[in-house]
């Protein structure tokens, strides 16, 4: 699993918060039970004392088997008295235990076998939450990408938008299912409202679920973050230059929507070139036509995209408008 450092840190903080919450609630329940059943304190102290004596017996060496067995029996008897007292007074038998979200790792994220599955799931949820804060990741899935809004009839070039978009949908689904760090970069282009962001996010979601680190940003937000970092105005969480360059998958959404400056054009070239040389895949979406793209970003950038990215031209009518007006 290759999530970013910030994703790991956020997941670890969430895991620690889970554990502290469970232990804090355990302590509060313990005090309530002790107030209701004062003799529980004595029994609890007896159980703890047996545990300490077992450790000391092993530390002293020699033949401690019989003594340890005796202590174990005493501890089990005390635990049974504790359960009986709890149930007799209307409490659950495990009322004094910590109720962790994951009993397997006790909310530590680690088991004897290694990273607990619950921590892996927390990493996925944390990585998705970071993108969800900026884009509708949870709503952008392959299973809700509808071809019904694309016309069957061929366009002026003799191509059916529905047929072309069905092919693009299948390609993107296969790309996501097979994604790894050697996957090609993608250039999703076409008019506004044709589903480019939807499919880019659908691929991001699947890549995250497969354990890959994904950085997503709209072009305006991406360049704002890089500019702030470059000129010492403070880094934007999750969008540092290191995370952007080293992400296993970088998604730059709506390239061309940012205000064009010498800085943004230079950043665009550096990002594309650096990731291309490192063999790290990038997905770019844009509403610009190829002539518009070259005019804005120069032939040097365009040639790298046309030469090394898989080009996916989206066809059809603005889906957002069709949905709004019932088309």
SS3 282: strand
CA–CA distance, 52 with 257 (Å, rounded to integer): 66
SS3 181: coil
Q: Indicate the average pLDDT of the chain.
A: 91
Mean pLDDT across 279-287: 97
Closest to 3 measured CA to CA, from 117, 167, 122, 112: 122
Of 76-80, 195-199, 317-321, the least confident:
317-321
pTM summary value: 0.85
The secondary structure of the chain in percent helix, strand, coil, rounded to multiples of 5, reads 60, 10, 35
CATH topology of domain 134-325: Rossmann fold (3.40.50)
Q: Which residues contact 32 (CB under 8 A, 6 or more apart)?
A: none
Domain boundaries, the chain: 22-100, 134-325
Beta strand pairing call for 214-218 and 249-253: parallel
**Angle made by CA atoms 159, 160, 164, in degrees to the nearest 5:** 90
Q: What is the pLDDT of residues 161-184, one digit of tens each?
A: 999 999 999 999 999 999 999 999
Q: Which residues contact 277 (CB under 8 A, 6 or more apart)?
A: none
Q: What is the pLDDT of residues 64-103, one digit of tens each?
A: 677 778 778 888 998 899 999 999 999 999 999 999 999 9
Percent of the chain with pLDDT over 70: 96
User: What pLDDT is attached to residue 162?
Assistant: 95
User: What pLDDT is attached to residue 157?
Assistant: 80
């Amino acid at each position: 699993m290759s999530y970013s450092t910030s994703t790991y840190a956020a997941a670890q903080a969430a895991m620690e918060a889970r554990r502290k919450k469970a232990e804090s609630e355990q302590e509060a329940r313990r005090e309530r039970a002790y107030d209701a059943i004062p003799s529980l304190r004595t029994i609890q102290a007896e159980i703890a004392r047996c545990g300490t004596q077992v450790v000391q017996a092993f530390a002293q060496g020699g033949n401690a088997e019989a003594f340890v067995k005796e202590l174990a029996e005493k501890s089990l008897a005390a635990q049974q008295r504790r359960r009986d007292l709890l149930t007799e007074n209307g409490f659950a038998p495990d009322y004094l235990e910590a109720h962790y979200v994951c009993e397997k790792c006790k909310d530590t994220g680690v088991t004897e076998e290694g990273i607990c599955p619950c921590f892996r799931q927390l990493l996925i949820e944390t990585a998705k939450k970071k993108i969800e804060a900026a884009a509708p990741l949870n709503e952008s899935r392959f299973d809700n990408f509808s071809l019904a809004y694309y016309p069957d009839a061929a366009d002026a070039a003799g191509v059916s938008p529905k047929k072309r978009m069905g092919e693009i949908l299948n390609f993107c689904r296969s790309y996501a299912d097979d994604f790894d760090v050697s996957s090609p970069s993608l250039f999703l282009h076409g008019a506004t409202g044709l589903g480019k962001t939807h499919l880019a996010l659908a691929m991001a979601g699947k890549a995250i679920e497969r354990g890959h680190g994904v950085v997503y940003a709209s072009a305006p937000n991406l360049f704002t973050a890089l500019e702030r970092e470059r000129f010492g105005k403070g880094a934007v969480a999750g969008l540092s230059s290191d995370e952007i360059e080293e992400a296993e998958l970088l998604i730059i959404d709506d390239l061309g929507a940012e205000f064009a400056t010498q800085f943004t054009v230079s950043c665009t070239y550096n990002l594309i070139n650096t990731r291309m040389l490192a063999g790290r895949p990038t997905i770019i979406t844009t509403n610009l036509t190829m002539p518009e793209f070259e005019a804005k970003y120069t032939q040097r950038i365009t040639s790298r995209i046309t030469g090394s990215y898989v080009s996916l031209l989206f066809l059809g009518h603005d889906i957002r408008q069709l949905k709004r007006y019932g088309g």
